[in-house]
């Protein structure tokens, strides 16, 4: 499907061809030519040829001649069995301006996803660990998908699932207690406040807890006896011992406060935060019931679901020592979601591709239980730095804050180099933060989810090539033209655009017209990368227009028409960047 504008344009054309050929031609029959210079759309003439008993190339030639004088068509040319069609700008631009005027910031909206209610789970880090570069893809990709699904007509309920219990928490709390002079086995409720006060306020963060976790992991590797001490803490937490429960809740708050700040900075908006601790008791009951119902079975003391016939292996729910696996808690989470949001029509979870088997097993288990709704997942590959993959357990991670600061510092240096003489530090800092946001987010969303990303700071901040700043700069250039015009402009589709005759003006309008179709495909395929590529293509057309087409010095009527095109192009580019979570600066 094309955009609303294309639908109208192609609808007229399809109707005219249907009359000529006495055979129905649908809007969906039109495709994009392999090369833009061939035309705006192409029509394969195979079905028409079959209906008329002719060669497809012959039909294409006939239609090329018949459409030569059709209103709105600038050119119709046969290319073998295909008919390539180029539209007049006057056929496209007024419709686009009307669409922008009516839809505003929702430019490109549609009901492509059929008005579903999607329960979308993403941004699922652990408490008591740092947020690092490896988390960024999930956060940024997920936030963009929420925008896309909504623009394509769905109601989206964004939720997250926070892993706030388990061995990693026990490790962290054990070392936190012992490194501040307390004995884990005699630690009491009276000691909790003393311990919290002993930790400097600036260390009441997930970053600090992550460092403690890393130290605890190293201690376990060096001293076997530490495992017993960590197990003691783990059991105390599971038994809800009051002193450990209080310390756990306090330190979890440190993690969540920091996570909330990061979510705000990255544009992650969550309606409901689920915690693994909410699911513990119910997951135990579910496992017992599944075993009783014969859906799960006991094998060497462990409880599992046999999925070999589905080529999904064995889904382990509970180990022989009685400890529950993530899968059991995921079943409880799925049940909780359905209870709280019974109206959802589809559940999606954004996960690291390495969790794909677990997600397929979960969906199969829910089918056997009679869940009654699709429980799908969207997978993505790793994001790393040139130094390689990261691990909190190994302690070789780069925190989000450290990474963000590196990118902002590089952006400030680049901005200062351009504007040291004419901007103060406040302007430089503000522009650098927007530049850094574009550099980070675009570098992540421009890649298809199934591709590994190796983040290069220098490339990401470049004003040339396939980068966020390059696209931001194109939008800023358009804004500069509008500002210099001194006119207060709104969308005016009623103007005469007959004077817009240049090829570059038409290319710019055609690229804008493809936006809604790109949004539809991106939503269907769950690929914000398609929007990123369109933003890049539009930025390239904008820069060519900026170079070749005078606006402010043009005669009055032509100036008015071109300013409308400039206004529309900037609006479309801002809307595209917004879907990716990227801000558009007024100046760079």
The tokens 């209906």 sit on which residue? 51
Q: Please give the span between the terminal C-alpha atoms of the chain, in angstroms, as a whole number.
A: 36
**Mean pLDDT rounded to a whole number for the chain:** 93
Per-residue pLDDT band for 356 (boundaries 50, 70, 90) equals: very high
The pLDDT of residue 391:
55
Look up residue 494 and give its DSSP letter: T
The pLDDT of residue 59:
97
Of residues 27, 24, 25, the one with CA closest to residue 1: 27
Distance CA 404, CA 191 (A): 36
Single pTM value for the model: 0.92
Residue 63 CB partners (closer than 8 Å, separation 6+): 17, 20, 21, 43, 45, 76, 78, 83
The pLDDT of residue 234:
92
Distance CA 211, CA 466 (A): 36
Q: Where are the beta strands (DSSP E) in 243-400?
A: 272-275, 297-299, 302-306, 314-318, 346-352, 375-380, 383-384
Q: What is the mean pLDDT of residues 572-577?
A: 98
Helical H segments across 38-88, by residue range: 46-52, 56-66
Distance CA 40, CA 76 (A): 10
Three-class DSSP category at 166: coil
Tokens of 524: 């269907």
Per-residue pLDDT band for 4 (boundaries 50, 70, 90) equals: low
The pLDDT of residue 3:
52
User: Beta strands 314-318 and 30-31: pairing type?
Assistant: unpaired
The pLDDT of residue 384:
80
Q: Looking at the DSSP assignment, which residues form a beta bridge with residue 348? A: 120, 376
Query: Are residues 297 and 306 in contact, defined by beta-carbon separation less than 8 angstroms?
Result: yes
User: 493-508: per-residue pLDDT in tens?
Assistant: 999 999 999 989 999 9
Burial zone of 353 (CB within 10 Å; 0-12 exposed, 13-18 middle, 19+ buried): middle
Tokens of 329: 């808690």
Q: Please state, in angstroms and as integers, the Cα–Cα distance from residue 539 to each residue in 285, 473, 485, 533, following that order.
A: 56, 8, 21, 10
Lowest-confidence region among 228-232, 342-346, 385-389: 385-389
User: 256-293: per-residue pLDDT in tens?
Assistant: 999 999 999 999 999 999 999 999 999 999 999 999 99
Given a cut of 90, whether residue 547 has pLDDT beyond it is yes
Of residues 386, 388, 532, 384, the one with CA closest to residue 465: 532
Distance CA 188, CA 186 (A): 6
All domains in the chain, ordered by first residue: 4-87 (3.30.1360.70), 122-384 (3.40.50.620), 400-579 (1.10.730.10)
Given a cut of 90, whether residue 371 has pLDDT beyond it is yes
Q: What is the mean pLDDT of residues 339-362?
A: 97
Helical H segments across 424-467, by residue range: 425-445, 457-460
| φ, ψ of residue 453 in degrees (nearest 5) | -110, 130
Distance CA 425, CA 409 (A): 13
User: Beta strands 383-384 and 272-275: pairing type?
Assistant: unpaired
Distance CA 162, CA 20 (A): 61
User: 295-335: per-residue pLDDT in tens?
Assistant: 999 999 999 999 999 999 999 999 998 889 999 999 999 99
Tokens of 379: 């997978």
Tokens of 112: 């492509």
Given a cut of 50, whether residue 1 has pLDDT beyond it is no
Residue 311 CB partners (closer than 8 Å, separation 6+): none
Q: Which residue has the higher pLDDT, 396 or 177?
A: 177
Three-class DSSP category at 131: coil
Q: If DSSP states are collapsed to H, E and C, what string results for 500-567?
A: CCCHHHHHHHHHHHCHHHHHHHHHHHCCHHHHHHHHHHHHHHHHHHHHHCCCCCCCHHHHHHHHHHHH
Distance CA 240, CA 144 (A): 39
Given a cut of 70, whether residue 213 has pLDDT beyond it is yes
Give kind and range of the element (H or E) at residue 296. none
Given a cut of 90, whether residue 423 has pLDDT beyond it is yes
Residue 218 CB partners (closer than 8 Å, separation 6+): 395
Q: What is the mean pLDDT of residues 524-537?
A: 97
Q: Which residue has the higher pLDDT, 455 or 435?
A: 435
User: 84-109: per-residue pLDDT in tens?
Assistant: 999 999 989 999 999 999 999 999 99
Per-residue pLDDT band for 395 (boundaries 50, 70, 90) equals: low
Burial zone of 537 (CB within 10 Å; 0-12 exposed, 13-18 middle, 19+ buried): middle
| Percentage of residues of the chain with pLDDT beyond 70 | 97
Query: Are residues 551 and 486 in contact, defined by beta-carbon separation less than 8 angstroms?
Result: no
Three-class DSSP category at 467: coil
Helical H segments across 46-188, by residue range: 46-52, 56-66, 89-103, 136-151, 167-179
Which contacts of 78-84 are long-range, i.e. CB under 8 A and separated by 24 or more positions? Answer: 79/38, 79/42, 80/56, 81/44, 81/45, 81/46, 81/49, 81/55, 81/56, 81/57, 82/33, 82/42, 82/43, 82/44, 82/45, 83/42, 83/43, 83/45, 83/59, 84/33, 84/38, 84/39, 84/41, 84/42
Give kind and range of the element (H or E) at residue 44. strand 41-44
Q: Where are the beta strands (DSSP E) in 99-140?
A: 117-121
| Percentage of residues of the chain with pLDDT beyond 90 | 84
Length of the chain: 588
Q: Looking at the DSSP assignment, which residues form a beta bridge with residue 399? A: 132
Given a cut of 80, whether residue 385 has pLDDT beyond it is no
Given a cut of 70, whether residue 115 has pLDDT beyond it is yes
């Amino acid at each position: 499907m094309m955009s609303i504008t294309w639908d109208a344009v192609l609808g007229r054309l399809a109707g005219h061809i249907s009359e000529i050929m006495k055979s129905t031609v649908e809007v969906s029959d039109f495709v994009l030519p392999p090369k833009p210079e061939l035309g705006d759309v192409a029509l394969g003439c195979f079905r028409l040829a079959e209906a008329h008993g002719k060669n497809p190339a012959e039909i294409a030639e006939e239609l090329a001649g018949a459409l030569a004088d059709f209103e709105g068509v600038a050119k119709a040319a046969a290319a073998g069995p295909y008919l390539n069609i180029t539209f007049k700008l006057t056929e496209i631009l007024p419709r686009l301006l009307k669409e922008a005027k009516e839809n505003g910031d929702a430019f490109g909206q549609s009901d492509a996803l059929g008005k579903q209610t999607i329960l979308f789970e993403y941004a699922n880090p652990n408490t008591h660990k740092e947020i690092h570069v490896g988390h960024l893809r999930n956060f940024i990709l997920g936030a963009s998908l929420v925008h896309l699904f909504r623009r394509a007509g769905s109601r989206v309920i964004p939720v997250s699932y926070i892993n706030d219990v388990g061995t990693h928490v026990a490790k962290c709390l054990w070392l936190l207690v012992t490194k501040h002079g307390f004995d884990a086995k005699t630690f009491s409720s009276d000691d909790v406040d003393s311990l919290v006060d002993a930790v400097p306020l600036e260390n009441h963060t997930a970053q600090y807890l992550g460092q403690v976790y890393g130290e605890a992991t190293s201690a376990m590797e060096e001293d076997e006896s530490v495992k017993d001490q960590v197990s003691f803490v783990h059991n105390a937490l599971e038994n809800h011992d009051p002193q450990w429960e209080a310390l756990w809740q306090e330190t979890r708050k440190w993690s969540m406060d920091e996570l909330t700040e990061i979510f705000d900075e990255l544009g992650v908006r969550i309606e409901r935060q689920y915690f693994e601790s909410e699911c513990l008791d119910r997951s135990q009951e579910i496992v017992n019931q599944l075993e009783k119902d014969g859906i799960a079975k006991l094998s060497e003391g462990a409880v599992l679901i046999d999925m070999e016939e589905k080529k999904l292996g064995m889904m382990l729910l509970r180990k022989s020592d009685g400890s529950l696996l993530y899968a059991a808690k995921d079943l409880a989470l799925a049940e909780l979601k359905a209870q709280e949001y019974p109206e959802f029509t589809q559940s999606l979870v954004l996960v690291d591709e390495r969790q794909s088997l677990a997600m397929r097993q979960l969906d199969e288990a829910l089918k056997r239980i009679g869940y009654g709704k699709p429980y799908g997942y969207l997978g993505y590959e790793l994001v790393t730095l040139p130094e390689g993959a990261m691990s909190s357990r190994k302690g070789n991670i780069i925190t989000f804050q450290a990474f963000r600061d590196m990118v902002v510092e590089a952006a400030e240096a680049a901005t200062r180099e351009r504007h040291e003489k004419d901007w103060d530090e406040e302007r430089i800092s503000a522009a650098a933060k927007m530049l850094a946001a574009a550099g980070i987010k675009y570098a992540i969303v421009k890649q298809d989810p199934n591709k590994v990303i190796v983040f290069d700071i220098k490339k990401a901040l470049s004003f040339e090539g396939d980068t966020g700043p390059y696209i931001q700069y194109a939008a800023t250039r358009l804004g500069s033209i509008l500002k210099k015009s001194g006119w207060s402009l709104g969308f005016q589709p009623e103007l005469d655009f007959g004077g817009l005759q240049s090829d570059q003006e038409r290319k710019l309008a055609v690229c804008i017209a493809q936006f809604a179709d790109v949004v539809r495909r991106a939503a269907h395929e769950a690929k914000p990368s398609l929007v990123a590529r369109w933003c890049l293509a539009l930025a390239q057309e904008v820069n060519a227009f900026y170079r070749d087409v005078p606006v402010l010095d043009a005669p009055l009527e032509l100036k008015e028409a071109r300013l409308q095109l400039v206004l529309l192009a900037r609006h479309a580019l801002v809307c595209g960047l917004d879907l990716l979570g990227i801000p558009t600066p007024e100046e760079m």
